[in-house]
Amino acid sequence: MFKKRYNTRFCLPVGHFIKTGLMWLNTTLAFLLIGLLQIRAEVHAQQVTIHQHQITLDDAFAEINRQTGYQFLWMPTHLKSDRKVDVQLNEADLNEALDQLLKKLPLDYVVDGKIILIKERIKATPRKSLPADNDVSRPLVITYSEIQGKVVDTLGQPLAGASVRVKGYKLSTMTASNGTFKLENVPQNAVLECSYMGYISREVPVQAQVYVVLKPSESPLDVVQVIAYGTTSKRYTTSSVTTVTAEEIEKQPISNVLQALAGKVPGLKSIQQDGLPGGWFDLNIRGTNSLSSGTRPLILIDGIPFSNESTTNRFPGTNSYDSPLNVLNTFDIQSVDVLKDADATAIYGSRGSNGVILITTKKGRAGKPQLKAEAYAGVTTATRFMQLLNTQQYLEMRREAYKNDGVEPTVTDAPDLLLWDTTKYTDWNKEYRTGNGTSKNLQLDYSGGSEKYQFRVAYGYHRETPLYGDVRERITGKNTAYDKHSVQLSFSNQSLQDKLRVNVNVGYNFDFSNFASSGGMIILPPNAPDPIDKNGELYWLGQGIGQTNPIAPLYESYDAQNKLLNATTTISYEILKGLQVKVNGGYNTLDHDDIRSVPAKAKMSSEATGNSNFTYNTVSSWQVEPIVEYKKQIDQGELDVLAGGSWHRSFSEPKTITASDYQDEDYVGTLFGANSVTVGGSKIDYTYQGIYGRLAYNWQKKWLLNLTARRDGSSRFGPDSRYSNFGALGMAYIFSEEKWLKRTIPALSFGKFRSNYGITGNDNIGNFMFEDLWTNYGSGYSYDGSAIVYPIILYNPELRWEKNKKLELATDLGFFNDRLLLTANYYRSLATDQLIGYTLPSQTGFDQIAKNFEATVLNYGWEFELGGNPIRTRSVNWRIDANMSIARNKLKSFPGMESTYYASQYIIGKPITGTYFYPYLGVDPNTGLYSYPGTSLADRNLFLDYYGTPTLYGGITNTLTVKGITLEVFCQYSKQNRQSYLSSLTYYPGYMVNQPAVVMDRWRQPGDVSEIQKFTAGFNPDATQAFNLRKSSVGDLEDASFLRIKNVSLSYELPKSWLKKSGISSARIYFEGQNIGVITGYKGMDPESAGLGNPLNRVFTGGLSLTL
């Protein structure tokens, strides 16, 4: 083995700590202390001064390392480091110092980068060689009986599993866990070919001792991608995997990593539904596969499943759900890998049907300890907010509405016209909703290590205030903010002859939210009286006006906290060369508590009392996976065989408490003093277990084969159908490796065809669905003093898995040394055995039964990726990356659907996200009303996609770097339909609420052509019916396609010459903007989220990043 020298005076063994047990947190702290003691100090001097008599080689190497920063490696079998020499050096350069140190010894040295290899001078001994390839006529050559070597990266870290092949001969091997290798009978004049995933291959001449340094590849084809139980690269994968790196994530001033994925990953839709921090995201990979079961992808953090479902239904956003991933610190993430096809996801079996998202957190890296500090601060504003009517326009609308209805206004139904000041104007949204928020972020990251010890300690803080925060604090005195803290500890250790490796990672994240419990657009009349009277009390306008006091919601509160503990450990041991056993274990728990309270002051009735709603939910899961993996170089091929098992359990106990009729308003928000308290809750326990395997073979780096299989068991299915099998076969052919093609098309630097087919499963149906389920009839009902329960779901022991059959055909092309890259994917998935809640006749005594139907859902589409590097010089670099997805979805078959309830929901050959609409004729020029061919239920016969599923979407990124200045612009686009802004309005134009200014382009007299019907004050039933029918008609759908400037990042890397005397390794100043602007014809709020809730935020920040 090779030995490595650092300028440390400590040599503490780690065996003692291993023997005492591997408790996650305690082990991390103990190993971290050792690692800190064994890290070399950084020294920049290149001159060596040593005056020592009888100094050991070990101490001499340490002193040179201290003065120059160069590291030493040598074979202990060839060198006794305690051998003593006399050294007299005075400001000698490095080569002179090494020559004098070794001049009387049978040793030589090689300098490669910042690494010095000490080796023996060995003469070759004649031996009979093997014939090159199949050429038996080749004469005998001088050979080495054995050569030894090591393959490392530019930091001197060993590269385990690197391929080492003697060029032109059938001699090859792979490096061990410590990067070393041995080969016998190697021709003296031969050449070694060394390669490793993510690095540039290198050829070196054969010597008795070979030391190979591989440099990281800059080609996007060689970016390391995390897959199930391993890693790969785009060059050698047979799967469809997209990687979003830490660099891409950190350029966006965001709090949720899902924000960074939108527009970056082909086939992935990540739509933010609300502008409040912590709000919900609609997440979907390659379409909706299930009619009624879960369609969200599996998410794993460092290999451990993470809850992908909301922990509360009381979040004060547009759809009242929160996103659990918001608690995770985005700066702790190393990469996000999105796995889409069967080849990538089938090994996850029952959980891979909807795709898989792998989140990998940052770990320690070898090198001198570095402290990185980064901070930014900025402001947030609303991206889009609908312009409402001013007072003059509003009064015109109201008066015209009464005129159209033929009714005279009265003080009862029209105080805005007859009682209120008609010259007063208040923009309520500007006054009480759309102020400026703030965004702040601080990150501290301390990491480093040696070849055997690496560590990382990090702390993060993030704070955001909503747009109404300043207003709420000014009026109510309540603080309004979102605060998030995170602590991350990781440590890895390699010992016992470099065969045992332990990785421990522990993260603790917690956040706090203090929001008003409701928000959204205020549609109060612009001339309404001030919301606070002269006595400081809220002024109520009466019933029937919607939000009758615009500041009442500011007195309501939503106080929540989330705590996430995520701990993982991997212990691996190399039994034999290439044969490794390891155990992955992990545990995470997410605690959520929230209190939503409404004081009596926020209610209109003078007799009202306050009420509070409490939610407590803890979602915990653990997983253990023993794995055996064998890698071997077989002739010109590389074999990788993996087998393992998985045991997983997750459990939660959500509880809700409703308290009302408080005796004292000071108790609102607590459980004290409430005369009425209702408690609810449940207990959920989910377990699964599985065995899996993978066989991968790479022949001549040209032909690729990947075979995966898994057998899973899930507690969500009945005893008769609890287990099922899944698997996939992937193949690829790198045709650019053909010599004749290289001669024919020299511009083609890379070309690959790949295809795969497989079956994945879906058990995301909820828990206990196969069992008899009963529910409480309600706290107000009882029988003979006992609570009443009644049945809702009938027992079904044959409830079985949904299965998804996936096919993928793709090609990857590279031109001009990979400066131009193109990927084209075609995918098709058929989801069968649909799990649906089937409505039962009332005579059965049960509402429904969960059962499988032979329905099939089809998703298919194309995905394209284009990457180019048009300009690449020493001072200027311009790169462009673009992606586009074309997605289609339809119900392919549903035998017997016509006799079920679902005949009114679905149509064969149409999207499953569609619904029925009335045909729409527009505004009748004669009557001025919205018109339809028919208004009966039978006339509602047009089936269209209602949910605005994008049919074409993607993103474009341009990055330009000029002498340390980098400008990056990222744009996201989507072609889609959305509900019209009118469908978000509860009241028709003409009623006593404000309206979007666009309604003024309405019908006024016979012959007018307009998109808005005539105003009505509510006294014309034909007008109100026409308005309500429009929400269920084709007229409600509007083109909501958009091009959004999602992110702009401008940074400047300070020249290192400026920092030379400051002790700062690097410094970067940057300015970032998020959601800068959007180009769209959509007339509503945001074209992505629609609705009238909290608008998405536009963020502008400035920051500084320092590395010490």
Res. 232: pLDDT tops 80: yes
Phi-psi domain of 320 (left: phi exceeds 0; alpha: psi -120 through 50; beta: other): left
> Residue 133 has what pLDDT?
47
Work out the pLDDT band at 19, boundaries 50, 70, 90. very low
pLDDT value of residue 57: 79
888 phi and psi angles, rounded to 5 deg:
-135, 150
Burial (CB < 10 A; 0-12, 13-18, 19+), residue 189, is: exposed
Q: Give the model confidence (pLDDT) of 189-212 as tens digits.
A: 888 888 888 888 888 888 888 888
Whether 902 has a pLDDT exceeding 70, the answer reads yes
| Residue 15 host element (H or E) | helix 15-19
- What span, in angstroms and rounded, lies between the C-alpha atoms of 525 and 804? 53
Decide which of 246 and 6 is more confident.
Answer: 246
What is the model's pLDDT at position 301?
Answer: 93
Please list the alpha-helical segments (H only) found in 701-801.
Answer: 739-744
Residue 524 is predicted with a pLDDT of 85
R_g over Cα of the chain: 34
Query: What does the alpha-carbon distance between residue 345 and residue 341 come to, in Å, rounded to a whole number?
Result: 6
Helix (H) or strand (E) holding 261: helix 257-261
pLDDT at 329: 95
**272: how many CB neighbours lie within 10 A of its CB?**
24
* Per-residue pLDDT band at 587 (split at 50, 70, 90): very high
Range from 688-692, 765-769, 909-913 carrying the lowest mean pLDDT: 765-769
d(CA 600, CA 668): 9
Q: What is the pLDDT of residue 141?
A: 54
Spatial distance between the Cα atoms of 214 and 116, rounded to a whole number of angstroms: 15
| Identity at 837, one-letter amino acid code | G
DSSP codes of every residue in 561-612: EEEEEEEEEEEEEEEETTEEEEEEEEEEEEEEEEEEEE-GGGSS-TT---EE
Residue 172, CA atoms < 13 Å, CB-side half-sphere: 24
User: Residue 29 pLDDT more than 50?
Assistant: no
- What's the residue count for the chain? 1108
Cα distance between the two ends of the chain:
33
Check residue 23 and give its pLDDT.
Answer: 40
Beta bridge partners, 341, equal: none
Per the structure block, which two tokens stand in for 892?
Answer: 């392919």
DSSP per residue over 106-161, as a string? TEEEEEETTEEEEEE----B--PPPPSTT-TTSPP--EEEEEEEEEE-TTS-B-TT
Beta pairing class for 684-699 and 637-652: antiparallel
- 522 Cβ partners below 8 Å, 6+ apart? 428, 429, 432, 433, 547, 550, 994
Residue 484 corresponds to which tokens in the numbers above? 């998030």
Do β-strands 789-794 and 848-853 pair in parallel, antiparallel, or remain unpaired? parallel
The pLDDT, as a whole number, for residue 35 is 40
pLDDT tens-digit profile of 772-830?
777 776 555 666 767 777 777 777 777 888 889 999 999 999 999 999 999 999 999 99
Alpha carbons 96 and 874: distance in angstroms, whole number: 33
Q: What percentage of the chain carries pLDDT values higher than 70? A: 89
pLDDT band for position 44 (cuts 50, 70, 90): very low
- The owner of tokens 């919301």 is 531
Q: What is the Cα–Cα distance from 610 to 604, expressed in whole angstroms?
A: 11
Q: Band of the pLDDT at 122, cuts 50, 70, 90? A: low
Instruction: Starting at the earlier edge strand, list the strands of the sheet with 180-187.
Output: 180-187, 143-152, 209-213
Determine contact, residues 123/187, Cβ cutoff 8 Å. Answer: no
Count H helices, E strands: the chain?
15, 58
Task: Output the pLDDT for position 948.
Answer: 61
Q: Give the model's pLDDT for residue 496.
A: 66
Q: Evaluate whether 648 touches 625 at the Cβ level (below 8 Å).
A: no
**CA dihedral for 413, 414, 418, 420, sign (positive or negative):** positive
Cβ neighbours of residue 23 under 8 Å, at least 6 residues apart? none
- E strand spans, 153-208: 163-166, 172-174, 180-187, 191-195, 202-205
Q: What is the band of 28 on the pLDDT scale with cuts at 50, 70, 90?
A: very low
> Which stretches does DSSP call E strand in 816-948?
820-832, 834-839, 848-853, 856-872, 876-893, 914-917, 922-923, 930-931, 942-945
Contact 397, 417 (CB under 8 A): no
847 token code pair: 């509402």
1021-to-546, 920, 1014 alpha-carbon distances in Å: 20, 19, 13
In the predicted structure, residue 24 carries a pLDDT above the cut 60:
no
Structural domains for the chain: 3-120 (3.55.50.30), 143-213 (2.60.40.1120)
pLDDT at 359: 95
> What's residue 165's pLDDT?
87
Quote the CA–CA distance of 525 and 548 in Å, as a whole number.
Answer: 10
Amino acid at 156: G
Residue whose C-alpha is closest to residue 356's, from 340, 333, 336, 335 = 340
Confidence (pLDDT) at 34: 37
Check pLDDT > 80 for residue 542: no
Stretch among 542-546, 584-588, 944-948 having the lowest mean pLDDT: 542-546
Q: Work out the pLDDT band at 76, boundaries 50, 70, 90.
A: low
Task: Please name which of 683, 727, 731, 682 lies closest in space to residue 705, comparing C-alpha atoms.
Answer: 731
Q: How many CB atoms lie within 10 A of CB 741?
A: 13
Predicted local distance difference test score (pLDDT) of residue 371: 93
Cα-flanking dihedrals φ and ψ of residue 900, to 5°?
-120, 170
Handedness of CA 1051, 1055, 1060, 1065 (dihedral sign): positive
Residue 952 has pLDDT above 50, yes or no: yes
As a whole number, the mean pLDDT across the chain is: 84
pLDDT for position 773 = 73
| Residue pLDDT, tens place only, 268-323 | 998 888 888 888 888 899 998 888 877 889 999 999 998 877 777 777 766 667 88
Beta-carbon contacts of residue 984 (< 8 Å; ≥ 6 apart): 1084, 1085, 1090, 1091, 1092
Of 662-671, 1008-1017, 1023-1032, least confident by mean pLDDT is 662-671
pTM of the model: 0.84
Question: 633-643 burial by CB neighbour count: b if 16+ within 10 A, else e?
Answer: beeebbbbbbe
Strand, helix or coil at 394? Answer: helix
Q: Higher pLDDT residue, 425 or 208?
A: 425
For the cut 60, the answer to whether the pLDDT of residue 665 exceeds it is: yes
Phi, psi (deg, nearest 5) at residue 725: -110, 145
Q: Indicate the helix (H) or strand (E) that contains 84.
A: strand 84-92
Structure token digits, residue 198: 């993510």
- By DSSP bridging, strand 942-945 and strand 914-917 are antiparallel
Weakest-pLDDT range from 338-342, 620-624, 980-984, 1073-1077 = 980-984
Q: List C-alpha distances in Å: 794 to 225, 436, 716, 790.
A: 45, 53, 15, 11
Give the β-pairing of 172-174 and 163-166. Answer: antiparallel
Amino acid at 568: T
pLDDT tens column, 695-746: 999 998 899 999 999 999 888 887 878 888 999 999 999 999 998 998 899 9
CB atoms within 10 A of CB 828: 16
User: How far is residue 762's CA from residue 353's CA, in Å, rounded to a whole number?
Assistant: 5
Asked if 752 and 238 touch (Cβ cutoff 8 Å), the reply is no
> What angle, 0 to 180 degrees and rounded to 10, lies between the N-to-C axes of helices 57-68 and 94-102?
180
- Is the distance from CB of 304 to CB of 586 less than 8 angstroms? yes
Q: List pLDDT tens digits, range 137-179.
A: 444 456 777 888 888 888 778 888 888 888 888 788 888 878 8
Residue 518 has pLDDT above 70, yes or no: no
